[in-house]
Amino acid sequence: MVSGPGGVGKGTIVDALVARDPQLWLSRSWTTRAQRPGEPDDAYVFVSAEDFERRISEGGFLEWTEFLGNYYGTPRPDHLDRTPGPAGDARDDVTDFVLEIEVDGAQQVKHQFPEAILIFVLPPSREEQERRLRGRGDPDDKVHARLRKAEKEEPIGRDIADYLVVNDEFDRTVDEMMSIIDRERTRSGR
């Protein structure tokens, strides 16, 4: 699991990890929030509140939460639709699932699967986090809400994380996280 407050670069980091390592597969979260201008169609599975609530009632989420009036959730593996790999295959070479997940969701997954590895990503500073949030087009009220939430989430994330990584320089951050993944694979015998 990769978690951290909004604006730390989780999505960009995870995309780079998955592109670098064919054994990683990213579970695309569902959300009811509107797609941001310029945001890729596959950033999330964008659904209506009704569809999300139906999936909740079916037990189709590994975890889910509500934030700023929108739902976010990770589909259970038995409900996943795999994204084809570069050759159009079903990615039979996948050995590790990656969840890009909020702190609340990370707590839920850790409770169900204590062996799951959590890498908690931190911004180099609150000012840089704010700059990144504004840079991705978040409106002022959402920026301030995310910054307030970050102040509450970070102590929890630090407490439950297996690893802490500061995203101060992108390439170094991705290299550090790949090293963590390799170390955990070696430790678990994979």
Model confidence over 45-85: pLDDT tens digits?
999 999 999 999 999 999 998 988 999 999 987 544 444 34
Supply the pLDDT for residue 83. 44
Supply the pLDDT for residue 127. 92
Q: Share the mean pLDDT of the chain.
A: 88
**CA-CA distance, 112 to 125, in Å (whole number)?**
32
Please report, for the domain that includes residue 91, its CATH number: 3.40.50.300
Q: What average pLDDT does range 14-33 have in this prediction?
A: 93
> What pLDDT band is residue 121 in, cutting at 50, 70 and 90?
very high
> What pLDDT band is residue 128 in, cutting at 50, 70 and 90?
very high
State the residue range of the domain holding 120.
2-188
Identify the H or E element spanning 165: strand 163-166
Supply the pLDDT for residue 92. 52
Q: What average pLDDT does range 3-26 have in this prediction?
A: 92
Supply the pLDDT for residue 80. 45
**What is the DSSP secondary structure assignment for residue 77, as one 8-state letter?**
G
pLDDT over 50 (residue 88): no
pLDDT over 80 (residue 150): yes
Its pTM surpasses 0.85: no
> What pLDDT band is residue 138 in, cutting at 50, 70 and 90?
confident
Cβ 120 vs Cβ 164: under 8 Å? yes
Residues with Cβ within 8 Å of 7's Cβ and at least 6 positions away in sequence, in order, are 123, 129, 130, 132, 133, 136, 138, 146, 150
**How many domains is the chain partitioned into structurally?**
1
Q: pLDDT digits over 94-108, tens only?
A: 578 899 988 988 999
